[in-house]
Amino acid sequence: MSDGAVDPECAEVRSALSGRRWQSLSDAEVGKLKDALPLLTGAAFCHYLPAYLVVCLRARATADTAWHSVIFALTPPKRRSGPGWETFARRVAGLTAEQAKAILAYLEHVDEIEADGAGVGLAKKVRVALDYWSQPER
């Protein structure tokens, strides 16, 4: 989890996820932890992201706003320098090539869903994320 372990929200996330395999998280747990992704260390992010992807696809209503959280977590900042970029780069650095392919497939699917214009701002974020994840040299 984040270095700010004294933060009550970080402590709650740490308690909920500590020692757990991502496969053991239920749809309801991901829904409850919908805002946890930015609080995770890079290693924890890489480990638990698959649970979020699966639950968002399988049970979007249960996942609540985790759908948005995943998209925001996978979207790089506009500027490729500074603290925002460093945080993003650290978070995704541990993802394997296989995970990156799964992320790209997820984002392509989300792009199809969001393309209807219902969430124009979200659709733009998805396209920015797609641009990033489709580059082999990220």
The confidence score (pLDDT) of residue 2 equals 46
Q: Is the pLDDT of residue 106 over 70?
A: yes
Note the pLDDT tens digit of each residue in 53-90.
999 999 988 888 899 999 999 999 999 999 999 999 99
Minimum mean pLDDT range among 9-18, 22-31, 119-128: 119-128
Q: Model's pTM, two decimal places?
A: 0.88
DSSP-derived secondary structure letter, 80 = S
User: Tokens standing for 21?
Assistant: 């395999």
pLDDT of residue 80: 92
Q: pLDDT over 90 for what percent of the chain?
A: 73
CB 94 within 8 A of CB 43: yes
Cα 99 from Cα 43, distance rounded (Å): 13
Highest mean pLDDT among 1-5, 22-26, 38-42, 117-121: 22-26
Closest CA to 53 of 39, 74, 38: 74
Q: Which residue has the higher pLDDT, 131 or 118?
A: 131
Report the amino acid identity of residue 40.
L
Please give the pLDDT value at position 38.
92
Model confidence at 5, in pLDDT bands (50, 70, 90)? Answer: very low
Mean pLDDT value across the chain:
90
